[in-house]
Amino acid sequence: MMVNTIPKAFFAYPSNRPILMEAIRDAVDELNAGKQVSIKTWEKCNIGGKFVINTICDAIDESALFFADLTGLNPNVMFELGYAIARDKRIWLIFDTLYKKEKNMFNELKVLSTVGYVPYSNSHHIVSGFYQNNPVADIEKTIFRTAIEPNLKPGGYSSILYLKSLHENQAAMRVSQLLEKRLPGRITFDDPSESIQSLTWYGSHVFGCNGLVCHFADPKTKGANLQTARHALICGMAHGAGIPLLMLAENDFLAPIDYRDRLQHYRTVPDAIGYLEEWLPPVEQTLKVKQAAMEVGRAVKLATDLKNLHFGQHLAENEEEELVDQYFIPTAAYNAALKGRQTVFIGRKGSGKTANLIKLEDELGRRKQNVVCVIKPQRYQMLGIVDLLRQCQRRSDKAHAIESLWKFLLLTEIANTAYNNPPSGWRNSVEERFFKFVEKNKELICKDFSTRLENCIQNLEGAIEKSKDENSSLRISEALHRGILKQLRAELAEFLSKDQQVVILVVCPS
């Protein structure tokens, strides 16, 4: 005798909207009575004494369908939705469109724009929408199978996916710098200031990466709620896919209860860096093993099917190795820059400015005698320079400030690069004197460019505030250590040989 098994479903919805909760409870009772589906709500989970997320995830795993109310984009619901997508569950969504502000917020989210939902304002709408859509009839039609699995790249991406904060504070900047230093060319950045990716992009990169770092935005900043919802969805996918996950947030960030025990709060920059350094080692080891396997695979690889052709990422930084070794096409502008005749690349986003810089750095750096400096100031730091110049009353002070600032930054960057990449072999007296000078002034010369630029802006702001018209230039010179700068220029002139080429590549944020 055959027994028809009623498929199970889990229903997630926010706890801060009592009217909507009552409508959902009544709809669940009516749908369960119809015996086409057996629905369990999060309120029915036996959570006492257990980690909330473990209990919720177990309930989702036991179900074939996942129902959710996305009204307000509750972070708990978004995390559970991401988990259900990764666990290959049939998704069915509802949304109370009477809430106009929440509806606009959903439209701005964009990542779920291709996923349909049932509009409702009472239990009757939910029940009738269920019977009209009948998700039980096509239970195999999951988001994972239709939108993510067909786009998975064979072998994955051999990288860490980093979801950057909307407004990058000092800790977030240092996290980015540490990731780039520890895993150069192995970080896929998702920068909300650049563009918003699709659900397919996030899904394929989550399943293809070897770890995910998420930096939640300060809840007091503009746009933070929207980004928290998006990040919660992606972190839920990573959790469901079994990807190593590190979630970071400032100390006053009240984490949604679903992942409160899994999110690392920091009060200071060292706290945030400490969490990252503790998380990184096993991820780095996995990447090393995977890289070794890929190198063996390349030796026996014969051909690639046309359907697996990959036309590259929209950001050149996300695939530097492939860009340099495989598909960069030199242009007249690139060849002119390589010969030192082209100094400025101008173009809109996507025109190839960063790709040219990456290839120039690689090509020019192959000659060991060259001193190649790559400078990438942060967007907010460039805005800081603009604000600094507004404080200067006289045009001559502005010109003096900007000239002195860049002389200091460029000369110390050249010295820093030369010091960290010294010529091989025996050192002569000139080289010994240069290294001793740099070591004596390490605090000024050897910090990374972003830190030096940030310190310069702060010093100049203080100098301008204290200065009078008659000594403003002197104040600016003192703030930028012009005495040491003069000596540094002399030391560099002696240290750099005639056959060495000094190359400075600067990327200005758009």
Encode 180-226 in three state secondary structure.
HHHCCCCEEEECCCCCCCCHHHHHHHHHHCCCEEEECCCCCCCCHHH
pLDDT band, very low/low/confident/very high, at 425 (cuts 50, 70, 90): low
Q: Which helix (H) or strand (E) holds 284?
A: helix 269-300
- pTM as predicted: 0.61
Q: Mind giving me the DSSP string for 416-428? A: HHHHHSPPSS---
Q: Which helix (H) or strand (E) holds 246?
A: strand 245-250
197's CB contacts (< 8 A; 6+ apart) are 111, 190
Asked if domains 8-149 and 153-298 share a fold, the reply is yes
Top pLDDT among 407 and 381 is at 407
Tens digit of pLDDT for each residue in 60-84? 999 999 999 999 899 889 999 999 9
Q: Taking a C-beta distance cutoff of 8 angstroms, is the pair 236, 206 a contact?
A: no
pLDDT band, very low/low/confident/very high, at 380 (cuts 50, 70, 90): low
* Domain 153-298 in this protein, CATH class: alpha beta
Architecture of domain 8-149: 3-Layer(aba) Sandwich (3.40)
Euclidean distance between CA atoms 418 and 492, whole angstroms: 9
Q: Which residue has the tokens 């996030």?
A: 202
Top pLDDT among 301 and 146 is at 146
Percent of the chain residues past pLDDT 70, beyond the cut: 77
Mean pLDDT calculated for residue range 316-321: 58
Euclidean distance between CA atoms 71 and 250, whole angstroms: 26
Of 204, 255, 263, 264, give the one whose Cα is nearest residue 234: 204
Euclidean distance between CA atoms 495 and 437, whole angstroms: 11
Euclidean distance between CA atoms 140 and 260, whole angstroms: 32
Mean pLDDT calculated for residue range 26-45: 91
Q: Which residues of 263-278 are buried (b: 16+ CB within 10 A; e: fewer)?
A: bbbbeeeebbbebbee
Top pLDDT among 322 and 420 is at 420
Locate the domains of the chain by residue range: 8-149, 153-298, 367-506
Task: Quote the pLDDT of residue 159.
Answer: 85
Alpha helix (H) residue ranges in 366-428? 379-391, 395-420
For the cut 90, the answer to whether the pLDDT of residue 303 exceeds it is no
- Mean pLDDT is highest, among 29-33, 286-290, 300-304, 474-478, for 29-33
